[in-house]
Amino acid sequence: MKPSLPVTRRDLLKGLGATGALAALGPSSAAAADSAPPAAPPRPTPPRPRNARSAAAARRALFDKVQATTFIDTHEHLIEETDRLQGTAHPRVPCDDFALLFSHYLDSDLATAGMPAADLKRFLSPGIEPAEKWRLLEPWWPAVKHTGYAQAVRIALEQLYGVVDLSAATVRQAQEGYERLRRPGFYERVLRGVANLESCQVNCLTGEPFKESGLPTLLMQDLSIVGMFAGPNFKTYAEPAGINVQSLADWHRVITWWFDRYGRYAVAAKSQHAYSRDIDYARVPPEQAEPVFRRVLARERISAEDRRLLEDHLFWQAVDEAGKAGLPVKLHTGYYAGHNSMPLHRLARNPGSATDLCRLAPQVTFVFMHICYPYYEDIIAAAKQHANACVDLCWAWIINPIASKDFLKKFLVTAPANKLLTFGGDYIPVEPVVGHAALARRGIALALAELVEEGWLSLNEALGLVDPIMHENARRLFKLPEKEAALKQAPWATAAARG
């Protein structure tokens, strides 16, 4: 989509004339004009005037720079390419056709628009003809096609398959494009070739806390810590470690085993536990946690209060290990995926709890994901206040593209720019990452252009922020050169990956 030129503050002032402009600048300026003080009052310096052509040229320069700049994608749930090529044999591939692009997250907008559950299920089922899928989608398409979730899919359909407008006439073309693209090597083509990403950071959702990826330097991995403290998940974590867990100390050893084994390959530790409770983890000493842990081990029922106490203790056990391994800790904050389930009042507490975490572990770097949408103003305050708080726009551009642009403008004039990460597609299927990256580039270029037009930044300052926020911050924060070198030598790396 091409950017359109909005009315700038300068245009507004010109249109209003001198008196109107003074009023538009705020009540204090208007009051000053009425009371006519004896000496000329100090006048605010307006942004340096630009003519329409220079404003358009600045915009062009920013859009070109952002377009040409690679992203480091700091959050995905992509399954392995080899699994994708197995089609619906994989549990995260409900159908192996163009509708897969709708399965994560656009299905939720369709559901909340009112599409009957049976129709949505059929739309996402295998073995249904493309024309039939369009008939199911068509009644709901006008209601959802403008949301960020849908815009990302529409851009992907256009950039990957040449389908500009999905309809009865083009749905077959979408399906043919899907089949033509989905062949060995397509992750590289989609992610680096089309989306212009350097690498992705994947949080594997299919059971393993750390995925030994067949594309180790393209699909870099987080170490999932959520099962270390929620549950905890004995089977998933203790069995690979070969530790027979009889005590809390044994479980601590299990946690350490995962960091010893994968800490040097993982880019970060990751938890999405905010889907179950607020991130208000207190530091609970082991003596208090031990009796609860023993009861969990004996499969006794425990109270919600005791469960919380154990989670609190183990959260810090995992986070302190991450700190020792030099891994930033990525925490889900804000909006929930899915539909008809989110308790907004719980999310509202995330930013306050985030600042508590920062104070409780000044040695650990926290990455607060998804700009804590819709509480993004609050999470900017956290990043401004705490040296160890970073904020990631991952997923945010498709939840609300305009709020994300607003967040970016505000963050850059409020908090240090080296604590900001600007893109993560957050997808299971690879194709819509292309659309999400395009929306993010558009939002970043618009935000920077508006900051220049409004006089907050010079064009050179805005241009100078592009590399840091699109990839340099991520490269430094997650120590990517070091990780890449380690991954090339990893036991599971193929000869091709070692390259």
Q: Are 220 and 78 in contact (CB under 8 A)?
A: no
Task: Round to whole Å and give the CA distance between 34 and 257.
Answer: 73
Q: Are 258 and 209 in contact (CB under 8 A)?
A: yes
Closer to Zn ion by CB, 398 or 451: give it. Answer: 398
Q: Are 75 and 398 in contact (CB under 8 A)?
A: no
Phi, psi of 202 (to 5 degrees): -100, 130
Taking the complex as a whole, the smallest distance from the CB of residue 92 to Zn ion amounts, in Å, to 13
Closer to Zn ion by CB, 73 or 426: give it. Answer: 426
Taking the complex as a whole, the smallest distance from the CB of residue 75 to Zn ion amounts, in Å, to 6
Task: Round to whole Å and give the CA distance between 154 and 157.
Answer: 5
Taking the complex as a whole, the smallest distance from the CB of residue 426 to Zn ion amounts, in Å, to 4
Site for Zn ion in 16-75 (CB under 5 A): none
Closer to Zn ion by CB, 367 or 463: give it. Answer: 367
Closer to Zn ion by CB, 289 or 391: give it. Answer: 391
Site for Zn ion in 410-469 (CB under 5 A): 426
Taking the complex as a whole, the smallest distance from the CB of residue 396 to Zn ion amounts, in Å, to 11
Taking the complex as a whole, the smallest distance from the CB of residue 203 to Zn ion amounts, in Å, to 6
Radius of gyration, alpha carbons of the chain: 25
Using DSSP, state whether 163 is helix, strand or coil: coil
CA dihedral 316, 321, 327, 331 (to 10 degrees): -20
Q: Are 335 and 342 in contact (CB under 8 A)?
A: yes
Taking the complex as a whole, the smallest distance from the CB of residue 270 to Zn ion amounts, in Å, to 9
> How many alpha carbons fall within 13 Å on the CB side of residue 368?
35
Task: Round to whole Å and give the CA distance between 175 and 96.
Answer: 10
Closer to Zn ion by CB, 158 or 426: give it. Answer: 426
Closer to Zn ion by CB, 256 or 272: give it. Answer: 272
If one counts every other C-beta atom within 10 angstroms of the C-beta of residue 60, the result is 13
Q: How many residues bind Zn ion (CB under 5 A)?
A: 1
**Residue 357 neighbours by CB under 8 Å, 6+ apart:** 279, 281, 331, 366
Closer to Zn ion by CB, 13 or 78: give it. Answer: 78
Closer to Zn ion by CB, 66 or 202: give it. Answer: 202
Residue among 65, 181, 187 at smallest CA distance from 463? 65
Give the nearest residue (CB) to Zn ion: 426
- For the record, the structure tokens of 91 come out as 């549990």
* 392 touches Zn ion by CB under 5 A: no
Taking the complex as a whole, the smallest distance from the CB of residue 30 to Zn ion amounts, in Å, to 48
Taking the complex as a whole, the smallest distance from the CB of residue 272 to Zn ion amounts, in Å, to 7
If one counts every other C-beta atom within 10 angstroms of the C-beta of residue 156, the result is 28
Contact residues toward Zn ion (CB under 5 A) are: 426
